[in-house]
Structure 1
Amino acid sequence: MKAREFLGIFKVEITVLIDIVAVSAFLSVPGSTLRLALLAPLLVSGSLASFSSALFNNIYDQDIDGRMKRTEYRTKLINWKTRNLYIAVATLMIALSMAISQIYLNTLTSLFIFGGFLSYFVLYTVILKRRTIWNIVIGGIAGSFPALAGWSSLTGSVSSTSLFLAFLVFLWTPSHFWSLASSRVEDYIQADVPMLPVVKGVKASTRWIFTNTVVLVAYTLIPFFVHMDLGRAYFPIAIASDVAFLYLTGRLLVSSDTPSLKRAFHFSNLYLLLILVSVWLVAVGW
């Protein structure tokens, strides 16, 4: 067993992104640098909940993971022999997550973290994934909860800034995941999962990817017209990132080959990272 495969079943890359979202909302709270110690319980509880939902996701999808090249390695680790062990580990993780957030943060933050867990495992994995092409659109709400948790961990409340960041991640998710699904369409066909490119075809999906990106880019411009304390670095970084993302997803309308789809997918990660990190700079007066 490779370390990369073991980390893969916990979907560490998703957890890192979730943590970055939470930190962005945390640092956007005025005076957050005076209470940086609260980042520790926020990140620990959020990461544990993310790891737990990833494990439950893999356990539930055990029957289809072996049919997809991207996920077949998971069946070496999570199978009928080890299933109960991983259920116990996942249950312990979400229990610890709730305990830590309740003890060191507050009830609202605990609810947001648990909401992220439920929306990914129950809403997306169990209810939507195998039933509708809108699975990742509706299920994308899971990525919104970390922004709400990051802000509420300091304030015990919700704000226009945290809601803006939460909906930003929600709008980003379809462009991101549809690019991946389109580049791996054969996997989803084999697994009989009705992702958009499976049902509508890759070419049609590229139109949806570009359209969603246009909506996303338009949304990122809202702080230009409605005051939000996102810092001065947000504006140039958002504009540069928007232009690059529009270009890459726009090119898919002309060439929807696998390399182009993978470029759009990988850049989507960088795109969100750049915008979120730009928000971090508000904490140091940028």
Structure 2
Amino acid sequence: MSKLANFMKITKLEITILIDLVAVTAFILAPGSFSHPMLLFLLILTGTLGSMSASMFNNIYDMDIDTKMKRTRSRSGTLNENTRNYIFSIALIMIIVSFAVSSLFINLLTALFIFGGFLSYVFLYTVFLKRRTSLNIVIGGIAGGFPALAGWAALTNSVSLTSLFLAFLVFMWTPTHFWNLSINNVDDYKSSKVPMLPAMVGVKKTEFWIIVNTVILVFYSLIPFLVPAIKLGLAYLPIAVIMDAILLYYVARPAFKQYNKKYFRSAFGFSNMYLLILLLVIIIYPFI
């Protein structure tokens, strides 16, 4: 594997892509967005730098436990005692450039939202919550909402019901998404003494809370039915209903399949598709 590919592993590219997509969705929804392609480029650039920097700091802090987990053990080939200071310097430069460019060439509010996402992931989740409470991913999920606020603010220098709705949609989606993943890595979390929910209460109780969170997520996703001020495009609501029904099927299925881990893997995979499709529907609708 190339050095670049190894480096990209510690930037958690898949998370960065999702964060950028959330920001782009909010940006597209803002009035007049199509007249500002350069602003969109700067938003993606600064958001990408902020997200990658946060992931790198997360990995630096977690170096001691990453080697104990099968899912993260390979990171030590890129991030180790010999390269830690080098990676730290790159991550620091990234977040400084992100804040400087976004505050100077977009606006200060956008810069603060991007930086807020960085701080909440690195300090709130990684440092304060991850090793202390099984609610780590619930509270820490707030980091995923900041891109929506940044995307809207990039064009409007404000916050709206629409951007807040998107921010909390990602926040509500996060536990369903991550708990399904963590069940497949429960032994890793036990060995590294990280109190992820399935490692603390077991698979069956975690499945119960996945279903509870998903039901809340489903009801939340339909709020635009009742609040016309949240403008996501006419295609959003019918697609949301369909995706909600399929998501409920996927998250409930493990309870009827002896809690087989392969069904949690399927639910995790579909949770990615769920959010991706909802965001793409919102983005594409103006072009139809």
Offset from partner CA, 1:171-198 (integer Å, 9 cap, x none): 0000000000011111111111000000
User: Residue type matched to 1:189 in 2?
Assistant: K
User: Residue type matched to 1:190 in 2?
Assistant: S
Q: 1:6 deviation in Å?
A: 2.6
Q: Distance in 2 between matches of 1:202 and 1:178?
A: 10
Alignment partner, residue 234 of structure 1 = 236
Offset from partner CA, 1:245-264 (integer Å, 9 cap, x none): 00000112222211101000
**Is 1:36 equivalent to 2:44 in the alignment?**
no
Q: Distance in 2 between matches of 1:254 and 1:204?
A: 14
TM-score by length of 1: 0.97
Q: 1:128 deviation in Å?
A: 0.3
Q: Percent identity?
A: 54
Decide whether the 8 Å contact of 1:30 with 1:283 is kept in 2. Answer: no
Higher relative contact order (CA 8 A, sep 6+): 1
Structure 1: tracts of 5 or more residues without a match? none
Q: Distance in 1 between matches of 2:198 and 2:134?
A: 9
Structure 2: tracts of 5 or more residues without a match? none
Q: 1:127 deviation in Å?
A: 0.4
Map of 1:154-173 to 2, 5 A cutoff?
154-173=155-174
Q: 1:282 deviation in Å?
A: 4.1
Alignment partner, residue 121 of structure 2 = 120
TM-score by length of 2: 0.97
Map of 1:47-86 to 2, 5 A cutoff?
47-86=48-87
Query: Runs ≥4 in structure 1, deviation > 2 angstroms?
Result: 1-6, 281-284
Equivalent pairs counted in the alignment come to: 285
Which is worse superposed, 126-135 or 5-14? 5-14
Decide whether the 8 Å contact of 1:25 with 1:165 is kept in 2. Answer: yes
Given candidates 243, 257, 279, the residue that maps to 2:260 is 257
**Is 1:196 equivalent to 2:197 in the alignment?**
yes
Decide whether the 8 Å contact of 1:188 with 1:198 is kept in 2. Answer: yes
Q: Distance in 1 between matches of 2:140 and 2:5?
A: 26
Q: Distance in 2 between matches of 1:36 and 1:263?
A: 37
Cα root mean square deviation, aligned: 1.0
Q: Helix, strand or coil: the match of 2:35?
A: helix
Decide whether the 8 Å contact of 1:32 with 1:283 is kept in 2. Answer: no
Q: Helix, strand or coil: the match of 1:208?
A: helix
Q: 1:240 deviation in Å?
A: 1.1
Given candidates 236, 243, 246, the residue that maps to 2:245 is 243
